[in-house]
Amino acid sequence: MNNRKGILLMIAAIAAFAVQDSFSRLLAERYNTLMVVMVRYWFFAAFVMFLALRRPEGLLVAIRTRRPAAQALRAVLLVIEICVMVYAYTLIGLINAHAVFAVCPLIVIALSGPILGERLTWQRWATVGVGLIGVLIILRPGHDVFSWPALLPLITALFFAAYSVLTRLTARDEPFFASFFWPAFLGAILMTVIGLPHWQAIKPEDTAIFLTYATISILSNWLLQKTYEIAEASAVQPFAYLHFVFIAILGLTFFDEELALPVILGAALIIAAGIYSLWQTKAEPKGAL
């Protein structure tokens, strides 16, 4: 394991995902969300198929799964999460959407008990509570600026948390690559069925934007895969919270978004709770619950 190189790769991957999200917002303001996500999935599926064909054990062995139903459910959850999140970008912007979505790792903790059978310490339950307080600070229910679109990233966080917990469940007896391959492949099929009827002609001036979007989508996923191949997940995961920092920079610079004080305070609370939870996990003795 090379954790130092893995950290650099994780930072690069998170920066690439932030740029990808910016392109998602830009394109979803010009074309319908379903079409934008469909194009993204086409290139993602092509990427994982390319990797599958290069696997030394052969294609069929590389993608073999013992849990086809679970993989199909993961694909559906991820499709819903991406579609709703991209739509949220067009309604409340990148910064506000990702400030709320940052609570996702804490929701994973909450779901790990009933789904994975993990018995969680009171400290980790406390981090979930602190994270939810952060969400309330951002959403400000009852405030005159609150609107229903602000709930969309919270819904996506729930779906992605369910996807993540299901991924951990399948990882107990599934090889990594099969779990990487099937959500992309099945998701591309599902998005083609859903998105193709909503196809819009791409304007010539937007062709380069779509191609750049597709390239960054492939790059971000490749960087993330390489990160987990060479580094321990516990060592690199805290740096995933840099996503909100990159998103804030891009939102402020290119989309004239605002970074309101409640968003800063709420996001800081959520991120601090998430990092503390990761530290708690790393500090626990092996086998501790």
Residue 167's pLDDT is what? Answer: 85
Residue 23's pLDDT is what? Answer: 97
Residue 224's pLDDT is what? Answer: 86
| CB 251 within 8 Å of CB 94 | yes
Q: Which one-letter amino acid corresponds to residue 58?
A: G
Residue 288's pLDDT is what? Answer: 42
Residue 159's pLDDT is what? Answer: 95
Q: How far apart are CA 36 and CA 3, in angstroms?
A: 35
Residue 144's pLDDT is what? Answer: 45
Tens digit of pLDDT for each residue in 35-45?
Answer: 999 999 999 99
Mean per-residue pLDDT, 69-81: 95
Q: C-alpha 253: how far from its chain's center?
A: 22
Gyration radius of the chain over CA positions? 19
Q: Phi and psi at residue 146, in whole multiples of 5°?
A: -70, 140
Confidence of residue 176 (pLDDT cuts 50, 70, 90): confident
Q: Above 90 in pLDDT, residue 6? A: no
Confidence of residue 84 (pLDDT cuts 50, 70, 90): very high
Q: Above 90 in pLDDT, residue 142? A: no
Mean pLDDT, the chain, rounded, equals 87
Residue 203's pLDDT is what? Answer: 95
CA distances from 236 to 74, 146, 247 (A): 23, 35, 19
Residue 245's pLDDT is what? Answer: 92
Q: How far apart are CA 250 and CA 244, in angstroms?
A: 10
Tens digit of pLDDT for each residue in 207-229?
Answer: 999 999 999 988 998 898 788 77
Residue 234's pLDDT is what? Answer: 65
Q: Which residue has the higher pLDDT, 273 or 154?
A: 154
State the residue for tokens 């917002």: 25
Q: What percentage of residues in the chain have a pLDDT greater than 70?
A: 93
